[in-house]
Amino acid sequence: MAKQKPGNRRLFEQLKELDTEQRNPRTRDIDLADPLEIANMINREDRLVADRIENELETIAGTIEMVKEGLRLGGRLIYVGAGTSGRLGILDAAECPPTFGTDPEQVKGLIAGGRQAVFEAQEGAEDFEANGVEALKQEEVAPPDIVCGLAASGRTPYVVGALKESNRLGCKTILVTTVSADQLDDGLAVDQLIDIPVGPEAIMGSTRMKSATAQKMVLNMITTGAMVRMGKTYENVMVDLQLSNNKLVERAKRIIMMFAEVNYERAGELLNRSGGHVKTALMMGLADLDRKEAEKALDSHDGFIRKALMDQT
């Protein structure tokens, strides 16, 4: 029999008060429900998440602008989390390069327990603030980097330690949590607090459910919003995508065909002449420019196609 770890009465008392650790009265009969009833119960709970996020849109908007400014100054967005929250940060970071053409180092995810924790829970890795501090040291975090803590409870020691260290270093900080601000540790200060109180989970304490959904939605808003503000889209189409596979090459051609109103062959020609850079190819097609002229026009307008086009008329 495995040796039982000593109890932590203080942590027990803290956890039992958190909203995400309460029993949900709407799903108490889920163990007796048929598959359709289970699906309905979970769906009803998930529908509450967007309404909770709506209350934080002004704070999320401020966070988008803060991240955009940090990235423009050459900083990185560093997600720090444990368990499900940590995996969500890694997922969002991993999706930025193919979607927006960013350097893989520009948005990064750190998870308690390291790479192995992405696939398999690493027991105890999240329990020490020092582990969060060490993770930042290994990444050589410094201003203008921005550190975003992800913790459903808002109290995960690994995350708290990383945020405290970030404050000490002078980095901007964000905390995304799914309990209300009044349930957080009074000793933790951040520049942007995004608290989405989702209430009790469909299964008590299972923060991979509504809490994870809320965090994923918020992270989508932060990185997508920051990238839009950096000229990574034309209208509502991503035009800084990396052509890392055949699907993305064909998507790029379709984008060029759609906006420049050219056929498939011409789109491929523009893409080749641009060096595989979709924004440059679009400027070439839309404004009848060569590659150097298109690149200069984009550089002069911080990569914004619309602004560059306005200057051509």
- Summarised one tens digit per residue, pLDDT across range 62-97 is 999 999 999 999 999 999 999 999 999 999 999 999
Fold match, 11-229 / 233-310: no
Residue 6 neighbours by CB distance under 10 Å: 6
**Cα–Cα dist 203/66, whole Å:** 35
Q: Which of 1-10, 113-122, 266-275 has the weakest average pLDDT?
A: 1-10
Residue 6 has a pLDDT of 57
pTM, rounded to two decimals: 0.90
The band of 1, judged by pLDDT with boundaries at 50, 70 and 90, is very low
| Domain 11-229 top-level CATH class | alpha beta
Asked if 146 and 170 touch (Cβ cutoff 8 Å), the reply is no
- On whether the CB atoms of residues 146 and 78 are closer than 8 A, the answer is yes
Residues 6 or more apart whose CB falls under 8 angstroms from that of 262 comprise 256, 270, 285
C-alpha–C-alpha distance, residues 253 and 178, integer Å: 41
Q: What is the pLDDT of residues 221-257, one digit of tens each?
A: 999 999 999 999 999 999 988 888 999 999 999 999 9
Q: Which tens digit of pLDDT belongs to each residue from 182-234?
A: 888 777 899 999 999 999 999 998 999 999 999 999 999 999 999 999 999 99
CB 94 within 8 A of CB 115: no
Question: How, if at all, do strands 107-111 and 77-81 pair?
Answer: parallel
The arithmetic mean of pLDDT across residues 104-130, rounded, is: 89
End-to-end alpha-carbon separation of the chain, Å? 77
Domain ranges of the chain: 11-229, 233-310
By annotation, the residues acting in catalysis are 95, 126
Domain boundaries 233-310, CATH class: mainly alpha
pLDDT at 150 exceeding the cut of 60: yes
